[in-house]
């Protein structure tokens, strides 16, 4: 209890060492829980697709030319690591589990870094600890592995944290920190180009609130110039590598697909903004309260009424805000958690929890416009909002899947709650009110802890497109998912399909898997005869355009999973004539319980 009271005081130099140790104990416990969790759950689709796309480059495909998969910058970044894994292992067996374990180490390191940097900024063990634990617990879409979403998100979190860290009291090393923040933001832009929109408010923060300024004029803008240089450097390296690899004329022609997806091309900002706001308001159930309070706050700030009252209207309004904030956030979290799984799956719940931050940081900043609040608003909250908007524009995920990019906004909300509630409560620190103050602080912390605990329970107990963790008892023994536990029925189907693919590829030249079974490409060492590694049905216009562009891309064997296996293969019914047109030759057909395999008997020239 004494340690908890010490953390609630907000002092950075704690009398009790346990207050400094508690955050690291939490990180260690989260690491152990998620290490156990990493061995469980197999989704058949998305996780494998994040590795199958860069694996194409290892096999010789060219980005943007042979591979039409979205986010080619991610494939460029991941391909060297897959090549090293293949050299070490000899195949892609066990790749998903190895990726999960490495990702856990990287995520925990990111969380510890976030905690230490935010502690230096806000000097509150409690606020920094909650922000660090939330960073350690959250993963985009319940997929605990490297992907363009997770790598891009955590790179931007590190960039935002490094940027605001420059504004601590004993600010030093401002130049290297600005350059580092820029490099991390540039890396995020390579992996997920839509996140570059978040750079704009970060640059504004460096202009309005110049860190460690001792000089005037342009020299005071050195952190901004270093930040922008850091952003541009990874992007320039990416462009140069692509230009040398596929040729500059081809790169100029295919440049739009470096930014947006062929499946969901960008249309317009206005339509995107409307759908973004609609989905955001559905995820944040208290948005009407937030908009109303924000409008009233602006009126209170702008209009001065000369009324002879024994109290100030502003004080009454501020008290309403301080009461409404925890109630609304807690209510939104409860509504999300209580939603039935058939209406809101676990991955959607984990993502939409971040939308609970809503407009509260803006309201708090207007109410108490301290320098630190403004820095957190421009350096973390607004970048997160623009990142989510960019993700919605380029990928248009359903169920407000773009909310995963709101993690920097939620971290800013945690710190700004302390920034605004702390001074009020610290002003009453003696006498009989001390216990009341501790209770109020504890209640505020409980709201954040409830959000954190919900995220941890969802991640540790539920699976993405698999049964709950407690029902996964059969370990996979081959293929890219080797070492992972799933259900007995799914394990039998998976093992059989891996063996079918490996037996059929002997003596073949190029493979096509129709439907959605990206792990199949990781079981083979043959080039891919498909524009994308997932969600390619037989009636896909992209498939026909891709094969017509170069007839040498036609496969000499085609694997079609049965509708009951994999994810999204219900429309895999096709005729022999359709498959023959794709292959450009007569075919032999082999059927099993799990799939239908078409093999070219004699390739026609």
Among candidate residues 461, 476, 497, the one where a domain is terminated: 461
- On whether both 286 and 222 belong to a single domain, the answer is yes
What is the mean predicted confidence (pLDDT) over 563-569? 79
- Specify the pLDDT at position 125: 83
What is the mean predicted confidence (pLDDT) over 554-577? 79
In the predicted model, is pLDDT for residue 151 greater than 60?
Answer: yes
Residue in 475, 571, 439 with CA at minimum distance from that of residue 514: 571
- Specify the pLDDT at position 377: 95
Name the most confidently modeled range: 227-236, 444-453, 592-601: 227-236
pTM above 0.75, yes or no: yes
Q: Per-residue pLDDT tens for 283-310?
A: 888 888 889 888 888 887 776 656 555 5
- Specify the pLDDT at position 25: 93
Tell me the two tokens of residue 72. 């080619």
Residue 69 lies in a domain: no
Point out which residues pair with 558 in neighbouring strands: 512, 598
In the predicted model, is pLDDT for residue 252 greater than 90?
Answer: yes
Residue 86 lies in a domain: no
- On whether both 197 and 274 belong to a single domain, the answer is yes
Range with the poorest average pLDDT among 98-102, 123-127, 305-309, 322-326 = 305-309
Number of neighbouring beta carbons within 10 Å of residue 451: 26
235 vs 172: which has the higher pLDDT: 235
Tell me the two tokens of residue 414. 């945690």
Euclidean distance between the first and the last CA atom of the chain, given in angstroms as a whole number: 80
Q: Per-residue pLDDT tens for 367-407?
A: 888 889 999 999 999 999 999 999 988 876 677 888 999 99
- On whether both 435 and 335 belong to a single domain, the answer is yes
- 155: CB partners within 8 A, 6+ apart: 184, 185, 187, 188, 191
- On whether both 552 and 596 belong to a single domain, the answer is yes
Band (187; pLDDT cuts 50, 70, 90): very high
Band (222; pLDDT cuts 50, 70, 90): confident
Residue 342 lies in a domain: yes
- 32: CB partners within 8 A, 6+ apart: none
In the predicted model, is pLDDT for residue 118 greater than 50?
Answer: yes
- Specify the pLDDT at position 435: 53
Q: Domains in the chain: how many in total?
A: 2
Residue in 368, 361, 401, 397 with CA at minimum distance from that of residue 382: 361
- Specify the pLDDT at position 164: 94
Write down the mean pLDDT value for the chain. 85
Q: At what angle are helices 433-461 and 18-37 packed, to 10 degrees?
A: 20
- Specify the pLDDT at position 429: 45
- Specify the pLDDT at position 439: 55
CB 210 within 8 A of CB 218: no
- Specify the pLDDT at position 431: 45
Q: How far apart are CA 104 and CA 356, in angstroms?
A: 25
Query: What are the distances in angstroms from CA 113 to CA 109, 161, 167, 409?
Result: 6, 9, 16, 17
Q: Which residue has the tokens 């109410």?
A: 367
Band (573; pLDDT cuts 50, 70, 90): low
- Specify the pLDDT at position 567: 78
Q: How far apart are CA 272 and CA 261, in angstroms?
A: 15
- Specify the pLDDT at position 605: 47
- On whether both 453 and 516 belong to a single domain, the answer is no
Residue 52 lies in a domain: no
CB 592 within 8 A of CB 496: yes
- On whether both 98 and 150 belong to a single domain, the answer is yes
Q: Per-residue pLDDT tens for 15-61?
A: 556 668 889 999 999 999 999 999 999 999 899 999 999 999 999 99
- The DSSP secondary structure of 591-603, one letter per residue, reads E-SSEEEEEESS-
Q: Per-residue pLDDT tens for 436-476?
A: 555 555 666 667 777 888 888 888 888 888 888 989 999 99
What is the mean predicted confidence (pLDDT) over 192-206? 94
Residue 227 lies in a domain: yes
- On whether both 381 and 526 belong to a single domain, the answer is no
- On whether both 563 and 419 belong to a single domain, the answer is no
Tell me the two tokens of residue 515. 């439907």
Among candidate residues 461, 494, 512, the one where a domain is terminated: 461
- On whether both 112 and 216 belong to a single domain, the answer is yes
- The DSSP secondary structure of 276-310, one letter per residue, reads HHHHHHHH-TTHHHHHHHHHHHHHHHH-------S
List phi, psi (to 5°) of 383: -55, -40
- Specify the pLDDT at position 295: 87
- On whether both 368 and 406 belong to a single domain, the answer is yes
C-alpha 337: how far from chain center? 20
Tell me the two tokens of residue 400. 């407000």
Can you give the residue range of the structural domain that contains 574?
485-600
- Specify the pLDDT at position 437: 52
- Specify the pLDDT at position 170: 64
Q: Per-residue pLDDT tens for 494-539?
A: 999 999 999 998 888 899 998 889 999 999 999 999 999 988 877 7
Q: For strand 595-600 and strand 587-591, is the pairing parallel, antiparallel, or unpaired?
A: antiparallel
- Specify the pLDDT at position 53: 95
Q: At what angle are helices 148-165 and 72-89 packed, to 10 degrees?
A: 110
* Total residue length of the chain: 605
Residue 50 lies in a domain: no
- On whether both 224 and 170 belong to a single domain, the answer is yes
Residue 47 lies in a domain: no
- On whether both 420 and 340 belong to a single domain, the answer is yes
Q: How far apart are CA 165 and CA 259, in angstroms?
A: 30
Q: Per-residue pLDDT tens for 432-443?
A: 445 555 555 566
Among candidate residues 461, 495, 529, the one where a domain is terminated: 461
Residue 60 lies in a domain: no
């Amino acid at each position: 209890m004494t340690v908890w009271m010490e953390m609630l005081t907000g002092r950075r130099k704690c009398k009790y060492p346990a207050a400094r140790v508690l955050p690291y104990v939490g990180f260690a416990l989260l690491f152990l829980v998620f290490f156990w969790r990493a061995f469980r759950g197999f989704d058949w689709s998305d996780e494998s697709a994040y590795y199958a796309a860069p694996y194409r480059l290892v096999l010789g495909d060219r980005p943007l030319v042979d591979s039409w998969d979205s986010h080619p910058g991610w494939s460029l970044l991941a391909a060297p690591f897959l090549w090293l894994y293949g050299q070490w292992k000899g195949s892609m067996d066990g790749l998903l589990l190895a990726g999960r374990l490495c990702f856990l180490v990287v995520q925990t390191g990111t969380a510890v870094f976030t905690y230490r940097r935010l502690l230096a900024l806000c000097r509150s063990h409690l606020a920094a600890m909650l922000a660090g634990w939330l960073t350690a617990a959250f993963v985009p879409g319940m997929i605990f592995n490297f992907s363009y979403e997770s790598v891009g998100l955590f790179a931007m979190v590190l960039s935002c944290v490094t940027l605001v860290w420059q504004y601590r009291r004993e600010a030093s090393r401002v130049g290297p920190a600005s350059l580092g923040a820029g490099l991390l933001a540039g890396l995020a832009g390579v992996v997920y180009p839509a996140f570059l929109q978040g750079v704009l408010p970060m640059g504004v923060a460096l202009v309005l609130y110049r860190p460690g300024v001792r000089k005037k004029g342009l020299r005071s803008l050195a952190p901004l110039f270093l930040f922008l240089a850091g952003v541009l450097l990874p992007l320039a390296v990416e462009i140069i590598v692509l230009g040398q690899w596929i040729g500059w004329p081809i790169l100029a022609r295919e440049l739009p697909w470096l930014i947006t997806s062929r499946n969901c091309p960008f249309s317009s900002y206005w339509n995107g903004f409307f759908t973004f706001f609609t989905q955001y308001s559905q995820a944040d159930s208290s948005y009407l309260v937030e908009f109303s309070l924000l409008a009233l706050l602006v009126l209170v700030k702008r209009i001065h009424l000369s009324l002879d009252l024994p109290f100030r209207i502003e004080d009454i309004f501020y008290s309403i805000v301080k009461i409404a904030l925890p109630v609304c956030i807690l209510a939104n979290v409860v509504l999300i958690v209580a939603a039935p799984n058939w209406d809101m799956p676990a991955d959607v719940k984990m993502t939409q929890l971040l939308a609970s931050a809503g407009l509260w940081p803006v309201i708090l900043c207007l109410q108490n416009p301290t320098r630190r609040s403004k820095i957190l608003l421009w350096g973390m909250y607004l970048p997160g909002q623009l990142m989510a908007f960019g993700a919605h524009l380029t990928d248009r995920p359903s169920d407000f899947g773009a909310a995963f990019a709101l993690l920097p906004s939620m971290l800013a909300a945690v710190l700004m709650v302390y920034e605004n509630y702390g001074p009020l409560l610290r002003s009453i620190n003696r006498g009989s009110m001390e216990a009341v103050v501790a209770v109020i602080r504890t209640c505020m912390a409980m709201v954040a802890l409830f959000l954190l605990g919900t995220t941890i329970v969802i991640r540790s107990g539920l699976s993405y497109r698999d049964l709950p963790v407690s029902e996964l008892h059969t370990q996979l023994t081959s293929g890219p998912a080797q070492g992972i536990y799933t259900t007995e029925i799914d394990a039998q189907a998976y093992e059989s399909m891996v063996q079918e693919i490996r037996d059929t590829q002997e003596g073949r030249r190029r493979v096509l898997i129709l439907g959605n079974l990206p792990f199949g490409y990781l079981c083979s060492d043959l080039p891919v005869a498909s524009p994308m590694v997932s969600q390619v049905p037989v009636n896909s216009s992209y498939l026909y355009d891709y094969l017509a562009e170069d007839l040498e891309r036609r496969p000499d064997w085609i694997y079609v999973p049965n509708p009951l296996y994999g994810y999204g293969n219900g429309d895999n019914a096709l005729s022999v004539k359709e498959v023959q047109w794709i292959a450009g030759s007569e075919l032999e057909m082999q059927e099993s319980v799990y799939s239908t395999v078409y093999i070219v008997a004699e390739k026609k020239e």
